[in-house]
Amino acid sequence: MSKKSLISAGGAIVIIAALVVIYAVLANQHKPEKTVNAFNEAVEKNDTDTLKKLIDPDQKDAVINKESLSAFVKYLKTNNESYQVIKDSLNKQIENEDFTSSAEQVSLVEDGKSLGMFPNYKLKAKTVNLIAKGQDDNDKLNFAIKNFKKSLNKIDKNKEIYGPLLPGEYKVKATVKNDLGTFNKEKKKDVWGSADVSFLIDDEKLARDNKQVQKDIINAANKFNEDMSVYVTSGFDPDKLTNVTNDFKKNLTGIDANFKAIKEHVEKIESQFLESTVNMDDLDLSLFEGDWKAEVTVLVSYNEKIKIEQGKDFEDVSYQELRNFTLTYDKDQGKWMVDDLSGKSAEGSEADDWDNKKEIKIDDPPVRKWPKKDSFI
């Protein structure tokens, strides 16, 4: 064999050896263990850039950004048992050389090949949806995730299901719009495990805790208290009660007629609504088949005087009363209306035992008179 042939043979051996080394290096770099180790290291360091390259959601509409990946990591670090289940499952996939989606939240799957021979691996994540529970059929809902640019998509026209989301621990903001207004509920939520995770919407609690709704109910009750003085000094004309239901007015039928029968013996009536105290702990709301109802207890105080014909002096009939209001929300008028009322005589000290109360003082309260002559209050 010539010297030239020996050199050629030696060169071929060197080249083959180099190719073997290169193949071994590339094969080692594409081992599934490399992907799993990179995943675990990224979780420990909260390396969202690396995780973004490794994780592939099963629903392409899922947002994969720093916020969603951080939520994913936060859940795993907070729930070590769930994290360990994923680790064990990934190791078992490698042991069984089964790189298809498993029943776990995260699976190791093949994702094409490099150079046509070395398999690439990714971590397939099962996405999760939020499903609203407990809301009224007429509610209009919106779900958003803190630091997400857009609200979650509604993915079912017939059901209140929103998503998809990369599994994780999120701060969820639900916006509920109903007849009483627009309400927000923010809650930390573990979006993990099931395909659909429930998010409870409690319309009654949202409305009950809302300052504007509380104010509207108190104002409606207080308007009735003011109107009562007008009603008494109008000959008991039910139309002077401006925020009561028709059913309430029907219950007053005949009172005005009774007054007409005796009014010739009455010389003067005067009424002055002085103040009220609302028991805020007693304020309650309920929603049934789209209709809102509220109940509240109010302590009221009136200065009232009456003078009988040919009497020398007037009689002081001032009083304090504990009123239990039932109100309904009129959708057409967009306001609360008094639908029922029960009252009992009070001493004025009842509110002393109320822990959460709102006192309403009337500045320079007007004196209502019948007939419209000079006041003696």
Per-residue pLDDT tens digits for 17-63: 555 554 444 445 558 999 999 999 999 999 999 999 999 999 999 99
| C-beta of residue 354 within 8 angstroms of C-beta of residue 279 | yes
Give the pLDDT band (50/70/90) at residue 6.
very low
Residue 265 pLDDT level (bands cut at 50, 70, 90): confident
Residue 1 has pLDDT above 70, yes or no: no
- Mean pLDDT across 118-144: 94
Q: Which residues pair with 2 in a beta bridge?
A: none
pLDDT, tens digit, for every residue of 154-190? Answer: 998 889 999 999 999 999 999 999 999 999 999 999 9
Say which residue, 18 or 254, is predicted with more confidence.
Answer: 254
Whole-angstrom CA distances from 160 to 130, 131, 152, 206, 325 are: 8, 6, 11, 18, 35
Q: Which domains does the chain have, with CATH numbers?
A: 31-125 (no CATH), 128-208 (2.60.40), 211-370 (3.10.450.50)
Ranges 90-94, 108-112, 186-190: which has the least confidence: 108-112
Backbone torsion region of residue 289, taken as left when φ is above 0, otherwise alpha when ψ lies between -120 and 50, otherwise beta = left
Q: Which residue spans within 12-145 are E strands per DSSP?
A: 55-57, 106-114, 118-125, 128-133, 140-145
pLDDT of residue 22: 46
**What pLDDT does residue 263 have?**
80
CA-based R_g, the chain, Å: 37
80: number of Cβ within 10 Å: 9
Round to whole Å and give the CA distance between 266 and 371.
Answer: 10
